[in-house]
Structure 1
Amino acid sequence: MTGAGSVNTGSAAGPRAAGEPYPRLRPQSLMLTYLGNYVLGRDIAVFSGSFITTFARLGVGEHAVRSTLSRMVGRGLLMRHRSGRRMHFGLTPRSEEILRDGEDRVWRHGVLNDDWDGTWTVLAFSMPESWQRVRHDLRARLTWAGFGSLGNGTWIAPSRVDVRPIVAGLGLNGHLKVFAGAAEQPTDVAGMLREAFDLDGLADGYRAFLGRWDRPDPLPGAPDDLARHLWLTTEWLQLVRADPRLPVQHLPADWPAIRAQRVVRELRDRYAPPARRLADEAIEFIRLR
C-alpha cells in the first residue's frame, strides 16, 4: 500500500491505520463510484482539481487521478470540456449506462435471490479455436450477466435471461444454443451450483467485507464519511458484480451475503447525507446545458 502522493492507476487505495483492515480498490473503480453518486443525472462536467482534492481523502495522489481521468477518456467513459484554462470532465452515454446498471444492481435488486421461480437459462456455444478474442469477450459478458460455466462451452444462469443483448456484436449467429426451463431429477442442483460458481470465493469476499464494516465504528482511520461512503459502495459494487444472485434455497443457511446486504444498507443510510455535503463542498463544475 503506497502513500497519498505515490499511488498509480494500477494500485489499490485505502486508509492506513495500525492493524486496520481496509479495502484494496483501484482508482478507476473509486472514480466510477464517485461519478455515480455525485455526477450522474446532473448534466455537469467536473473540474479536474475537484477530483484531485476529493481523491486525496482516499490516499490517491494527483498523478494517479490525472492518469485515471485520461484513461477513462480513452475508453469512452469520460469526455473533456475546456472552460477557459480549466479542464473539466463529464460523463458519456456509455458511462451513464454503466453507472445506472451498477445502481440497479446495488440498490434495487440486491444480491439475494429469494423469489426464484426455478427457471434456469442454459447457453451452449461452439466456435473455431482461432476465435480466441471472441471467446474471451463472450465469457466476460456471460460472467457479468450472472452465468457460470459447467465446462465444454456450457453456461448456466439461475433465471430467465435474454442473451441477445449479451452477445450483440460478437457475430455468433449459428454458434449458440439457448434454452430456458426447470432442472429435472436427478439433477443435483446444489452440486451444479458449486461446479459452475465459486461459492467459496464469493463467501470469502462477503466475510472480508463484514470483517471490515460490521462493527460500531468502521474504518476509524478514514478521514471522513465521504471517504467511508466511497470505499463502502465501491467495495460492495465489486462484490455484487461478482455475485450471480444464486437462489437462496440452494445456498448454505449461514450465507454471509444475507448479513452483508443488511450492513451495507444500514451504513449507506448513515454515511450518505454527510458524504453528500462534503462532496458538494469540494466539487467545482460547469453545466453542460
Structure 2
Amino acid sequence: MTTATPLLPRFQQDPRSQQLLTVLLGDYWFARDEPIPSSALVELLSVFDVTPRGGRAAIQRLAQRGFLQSEKSGRRTAYAVTPKSRRQLDAHVRSLFPPRTPEPWDGTWTLVAYSLPDDARETRRALRERLRIHGFGNLYDALWMRPGEQTTALREISDELGAIDPDQVTVFTGAQIPRSMSARAVWSAFDLDDVAGAYRAFIARWGALADRIPDSPAELLSGEEALRTRTSIMTDWRALRRADPHLPAELLGVDFPMHEAREVCAKVYDHLGPPAESVFRRILTPHDGELAQRVSHHTFAASDSLLGDA
C-alpha cells in the first residue's frame, strides 16, 4: 500500500527506553535464554532514536533491576533475560493476548474484608494498593472483590506485604454476590468507565491505520517504520491491559470496547510482524548470525500455540 505513515511519538530516553527494551525482548526474544550482545541491543534501540549512551544506560539499569543478567566473553558483553523475568514475561504476554472467545465464569467471587486500627494507615494504604494491582475491585471502603478463585494472587499479596494479623483480614472464597446488586456497582468497584474510555481512545488512535491495512501481505510499511509502529501499538496495548481488571465477559457485555480494540490491535500488530521481525534479525546478524536465526515474533492469531510452546 502507499505508506500512509502514522505520526507516532518517539520513545524518550531512560525509563521509557527500559520499557521499550522489555517490549522488544518480550516480543522477538520470547522464552529464549541466549544472551544478546549489548552492541546489538544498543543498535536496536537506535531505531527508536535512543542514543548509544541512553541505550547502554537502559541496559545497565535493567541489569541492576534484575531483569537482565550479563555474560562476558573476552571483550564482548551480552545480556540475557533472567529466569525470573522470563516467567514474569510469560504471565504478562498471556494477559496481552486475550482469546476471542473468553473462558466461562462460574459466577463465584473472592472477597477480602479488613478491619485495621487507625494507627495502621500505612498498612491500609499498602494493602489497598496491592489489591488493586492484583485486579481486585473496591466494592466498599474495606471490602474488595475479584471474580473466581484467587488463592495465587492472595499468596503473592501476602508475600509482598509481609505478615498481617489474620484477625484483621478475612478472605471469602467461592462467594456469591446477591443478584440484587446492580451492574453499576460492579462497574464502579473496578472503575470500568475509565477502562472503557481508555479502550475507546485506543480505537480512535489506531482504528484508521487498521482500516488502511490491505489484504495483500506484500503491501507493508517499510521495515524500520513497521518495527516502530508495531512496538508503539503494543506499548499502548500493554498499558491498557495493565489497567484492565480482566473481568469475565458476563460482567462486561458484548458492547464493551475491549473487543473492538482487540481486533484493531490484532490487525495492525499481526500484519506488521514479518517486516518488524526482519529488522530485528538484520540488526542482530552482524553481531551473531546464529542467534539471528532464532528471532521470532508474536501474533494474536497464533498466541495460543506460541504460549503453549513457551
TM-score normalised by length of structure 2: 0.75
Superposed displacement of residue 111, structure 1: 8.9
Match for residue 94 of structure 1? 84
Q: Does the residue aligned with 2:84 lie in a helix, a strand or coil?
A: helix
1:67 — aligned with what? 57
The one of 168, 178, 198 aligned to 1:184? 178
1:239 to partner: Cα distance = 0.9
In structure 1, runs of 5+ residues without a counterpart are 11-25
Deviations 1:149-189 (Å, cap 9, x if unpaired)?
A: 2343321112221122332252235142111322114322x
Aligned partner of residue 44 in structure 1, secondary structure: coil
How much has 1:116 moved relative to structure 2? 2.4
Deviations 1:50-101 (A, max 9, x none): 2222222223333332222222112111112222222221111221121101
Q: Which residue is 1:9 aligned to? A: 14
> What is the deviation of 1:131?
5.5
Contact 1:112 1:257 (8 Å CA) reproduced: no
Aligned partners of 1:112, 1:242: CA distance in 2, in Å? 21
2:109/2:147 contact within 8 Å kept: yes
Percent of counterpart pairs with the same letter?
Answer: 30
TM-score by length of 1: 0.80
* Structure 2 residue 183 is the aligned partner of structure 1 residue 171: no
Quote the residue 1:20 is aligned against. none
Task: Answer whether contact 1:148 1:157 (CA < 8 A) is retained.
Answer: yes
Q: CA deviation at 1:264?
A: 1.8
Decide whether aligned partners of structure 1 residues 273 and 139 sit closer, same or farther in structure 2, where only a CA change above 3 A counts: farther
Higher normalized helix content (fraction of residues): 2
Number of residue pairs matched?
269
The 5 A counterparts of 1:121-140 are: 121-127=110-116, 135-140=124-129
Distance 1:277 1:140, change over 3 A: farther
Q: Is the 8 A contact 2:33 2:82 kept in 1?
A: no
2:104 matched to which residue of 1?
115
- 2:248 matches 1:247: yes
- Structure 2 equivalent of residue 15 of structure 1: none
Q: Structure 1's 58 and 208: CA in aligned 2 closer, same or farther, altered over 3 A? A: farther
* CA distance 1:205–1:112, shift in 2 (3 Å): farther
5+ residue gaps, structure 2? 1-8, 214-220, 292-310
Q: CA RMSD, aligned part only?
A: 3.1
* Alignment partner of 1:206 is 2:195: no
| Partner residue, 1:156 | 145
Between structure 1 and structure 2, the one with the greater Rg is 2
Moved more, 232-241 or 167-176: 167-176
